[in-house]
Structure 1
Amino acid sequence: MTHKPEYGLIGLGTMGAALALNIAEKGNKIAVYNRTTKVTDEFIAASGALRDQLVATASLKDFVAAIQAPRKIILMVPAGPIVDAQIEALVPLLDADDLIIDAGNAHYADTNRRFKEAETAAYNFLGIGVSGGEEGARHGPSIMVGGAQSDWEAVAPVLRAISAKYEDTPCAEHMGAGGAGHYVKMVHNGIEYADMQMIAEAYAVFRDGLGWTSTQVAEAFEQWNTGPLASYLVEISGKVSRATDPVTGKAMLDVILDQAGQKGTGRWTAIEAQMLGVPVPVIEAAVAARNLSAKRDTRIQGAERFGSPLQPLTSDDITPEMLEKALTAGKILCYAQGFEMLDAASRHFEWSLPMSNIARVWREGCIIRSDMLGDMAEALDKSSSQNLIFSAPFCDMLMDCESALRATVLAATKAGIPVPALAAGLSWFDTMRTARTPANMIQAQRDFFGAHGFKRLDDVDAPHGPWAAQ
């Protein structure tokens, strides 16, 4: 009798197909099912040497029957109601202790709800964040797991085996109960939005301020990827800058429409940060920039009505070295805000998020992987709640790069080049080192129109101002 697989996967789209092949390649038999049978047939036909590790099924009933109990069933279907519908269809077919694993881009609140529903049902539930795109899913993603410790332990060997490795250390970790894994993945995506936006802003300074060609920009990114900015996103930015359009022969960047797509996960990060009362202005600026990029017709109308603000820059205004330091500072500030949000969420939801391990999980496989993350993990080992801007080596790096960040924002503003994420980072950093902000004016205003009261610097018990006489 042929040994049944312990794992099954539903949803053979780009990510699902890649993940199934990854699992199979690591020596695990896996049953697969897709609502459209033709997709399953095409997947099996293209699976090559891994064909014997795959069990194709044509119905949900056959799929469940093909898996050895207790089953581990991975869902790779679109987030939202489709996940709920798929779980509802599965439940009558499952046995006690079968495990449903949602590996899609779910909102953490949905995962919390599904986790609670599973507590009173026969099946168990995990929500896992998977980062790395198609390439990562196929050859090693970063994996962030949320759910019961016992369920994590049941799947940890396989998830660690298929994950990316950083110096032989698996980039797969249990983050906490319920939606903790998907929450960490959400913040990861918010940082991703910000990192991409700041790189795009540096590109804009090169292109619109200094008049550089895409080839010159590529050379700068390639150089930067050998220093403090070494990361996946800087690496691929060099590659896309150097690419040539096979249709026109022009630089590939020069024929791409300037309207950035999004799936909403960066927006979720900004919204949830506001709910926690944690400022993440670099991420918020990046989300707003994507939204503005979508308004191309309005932007064209604005250029026609008000004229283009663009003015040329010279090497006296900005240099590649200054821009590299500015981007280094922006990157540190962006990550610092993301980890501060995670620390606040850990306390709010009572998750005990493994802060330093989050940094370690992100060192390989995921989109925001960066050489900085090793130092961030060490800093978080020493203090998981101290903001990274106060930790070594980032405090010294910021002091070294701050003037370049300020000069870059000033030069870009002078030239009419929008750099919202870099500017937001600078403003946040300035606020973080301002001992006395103008918030006293706000408190006076609130008390004037709403009698909300205030605290005094001298601790005198007089919480209201003499506004009645004004």
Structure 2
Amino acid sequence: MAEAAIGLIGLGTMGSALALNIAEKGFPIAVHNRTAQVTRDFHAGAGELAPRVIPTESLKELVAAIKPPRAIILMVPAGKPVDQQIEALAPLLDPQDLVIDAGNANFHDTNRRAEAGLPMRFLGMGVSGGEDGARHGPSIMGGGAQQDWDRIAPILTAIAAKAEDGTPCATRMGEAGAGHFVKAVHNGIEYADMQMIAEIYGLMRDGLGLPADRIAGIFEGWNDGPLQSYLVEISGKVAHASDPHSGEPMLDMILDRAGQKGTGRWTAIEAQHLAAPIPVIEAAVMARNVSAQLEERKAAEDRFGPAPQPCDLDEDLLERALIAGKILCYAQGFAMISAASGTFGWSLPLPDIARVWRAGCIIRSTMLNDMAEALTENPGRNLIMAPGFASRIEEALPALRRVVAEGLAKGHPLPALAQGLTWFDMMRTARGTANMIQAQRDFFGAHGFERVDGRDDPHGPWGA
């Protein structure tokens, strides 16, 4: 007899954690993995939750175990594996059954699937928070038809993280790929947030000569103030940790080569298509790519000498610089979401997005409460122009300018912080230098330009 409220395919790290979360919240769940032994081991290790977990060793058995109309979450690798799983399920499902892709899908793939006329209902769902979030409360960003979201919303809101006011961090963002798009921007901001923290860490380590335990204490102190966030919190923890083998600070034993799964890169690429400037995120993606060029960097240091030199900075300047950088980064991210909303016709709910990110996800922070309020007041206004954030930028900008100037002068690479400052200076300049570019374009290609006096004379005298 079918008794599961929902099904789940893919018992990797995230899938296993999400399945246990669903079971813990009181919903019987049928689970399946391509390797049957993985399913058996998962059920055996579910402990007191095992009675709510129904292990199945075939897709037919999985489908039979779920109450109709069925809902099945896919937690399989993005791309072709999702298409293959949908194809395998199609003959077994009814038209009103629902397949939910909860992996790190490219939103273009989600759009394609939603528009393909699949023989079942389909929902895209971004899930953020890593293994711990999936197990104890993630941030969930849905994309698809309202009726499909409403059908599974009781489960999703039950398993989602809860903000301080008790609001579940689970919201439908719009049609088709809207949820996966918002998740991609979240990941882009995550890249940038991590990069800016790393740049500040580098200034403390190489510019101020601080040991790891002192750096840890600084991050811990900052986590009690405006910078309170998950990423600042864990930065303090990792800086405190010692290597169990050598007894040295764990950070000093980790190779300076960062990995990535590609979602930050997707964000940077899509921003170009949308003509939505996100230079802080783009700088963070670039920095990860450069970090992978370890041998080339070693060769360049041998040729040119080590760059970082001591800096005349202090903790207060670094804290305020990071505050400014964070605001500028998030302003760019929300502006990109706004641009996508108009381009794709999604009506993406910016205040709700800020609220969904307040808990459960990797970029959760107290600052998002104020961002949600500012976006509620005026969703079409860039965050830097919201009165509260404009005041914070004015207060913190001198520190960001000082940190970037001093750091770059002393050879410290600060791509994300510097790009945030450059973008802000461009945004606050009413008459920039693009007139020179337009003149050049008209000179070599007769592309024309707009005149400041409004005359209908779109070419320069060089045309003759």
Task: Assess same fold via TM > 0.5.
Answer: yes
Does the aligned pair in 2 maintain the 1:389–1:395 contact within 8 Å? yes
- 2:156 corresponds to 1:159: yes
Q: 1:435 & 1:326 partners in 2: Cα distance? A: 24
| Contact in 1 for aligned 2:341/2:348 (Cα 8 Å) | yes
Q: Which residue of 2 aligns with 1:362?
A: 357
**Superposed displacement of residue 42, structure 1:** 1.1
Given that 2:441 and 2:448 are in contact with CA atoms closer than 8 Å, whether structure 1 keeps it comes out as: yes
Tell me the residue number matched to 1:32: 31
SS at match of 2:348: coil
How far apart, CA to CA, are the structure 2 residues paired with 1:380 and 1:258? 37
Which runs of 5 or more residues in structure 2 are unaligned? Answer: none
Partner of 1:137: 134
Aligned with residue 426 of structure 1, among 421, 424, 434: 421
Offset at residue 121 of structure 1 (A)? 3.5
Tell me, in whole angstroms, the C-alpha distance in 1 between the residues paired with 2:105 and 2:282. 20
Distance in 2 (alpha carbons) for counterparts of 1:285 and 1:255: 25
Aligned residue number for residue 199 of structure 1: 197
**1:100, distance to aligned residue in structure 2 (A):** 0.1
Distance 1:32 1:125 in 2: 19
8 Å CA contact 1:6, 1:70 repeated in 2:
no
Deviations 1:179-200 (A, max 9, x none): 0000000000000000000000
- CA distance in structure 2 between the partners assigned to 1:289 and 1:444 by the alignment: 33
Distance 2:232 2:447 in 1: 48
- Show the 5 A alignment for 1:21-420: 21-117=20-116, 120-166=117-163, 167-313=165-311, 317-420=312-415
Q: Could you say what secondary structure the match of 1:165 adopts?
A: coil
Q: Contact 2:2–2:64 at 8 Å: present in 1 too?
A: no
Local SS of the residue matching 1:128? strand
Distance 1:80 1:430 in 2: 39
Structure 1 runs of 4+ off > 3 angstroms?
none
State whether residues 138 and 159 of structure 2, in contact with CA within 8 Å, keep that contact through their aligned partners in structure 1. Answer: yes
Partner of 1:169, secondary structure, is coil
Deviations 1:359-397 (A, max 9, x none): 000000000001110000000101111000000311000
**CA drift at 1:463:** 0.9
TM-aligned CA deviation for residue 65 of structure 1: 1.3
- The Cα shift of 1:50 comes to 0.3
Partner amino acid, structure 2, of 1:240? V
Unaligned runs of 5+ in 1: none
Q: Deviations over 1:241-274 (max 9, x none)?
A: 0001101100000000010000000000000000
Distance apart, 1:220 and its partner CA: 0.6
Amino acid at match of 2:133: G
Query: Does the CA contact (< 8 Å) of 1:147 and 1:178 recur in 2?
Result: yes
| Deviation for aligned residue 1:3 | 5.5
Which amino acid counterpart does residue 292 of structure 1 have in structure 2? V
What's the secondary structure of 1:418's corresponding residue?
A: coil
Distance in 1, matches of 2:330 and 2:288, equals 19
Using the TM superposition, give the Cα deviation of residue 96 of structure 1 relative to its aligned residue in structure 2, in angstroms: 2.2
**Which residue does 1:457 correspond to in 2?**
452
Give me the whole-angstrom Cα distance separating, in 2, the residues matched to 1:101 and 1:392: 40
1:160-218 CA distance string (max 9 Å, x none): 00000012110000100000000000000000000000000000000011111110110
For the residue of structure 1 that corresponds to 2:387, the secondary structure is: coil
Kindly indicate whether the alpha-carbon contact (under 8 Å) linking 1:143 and 1:163 is maintained by their aligned counterparts in 2.
yes
Q: TM-score scaled by structure 2?
A: 0.99
Return the alpha-carbon distance in structure 2 between the equivalents of residues 6 and 113 of structure 1: 28
Q: Is the 8 A contact 1:98 1:123 kept in 2?
A: yes
Partner-residue secondary structure (3-state), 1:8: strand
Q: Which amino acid aligns with 1:203?
A: Y
Query: Residues 76 and 104 of structure 1 are in contact (CA less than 8 Å); yes or no, is this contact kept in structure 2?
Result: yes
Tell me the percent identity: 63
TM-score (norm 1): 0.98
In the alignment of these two chains, the number of paired residues is 463
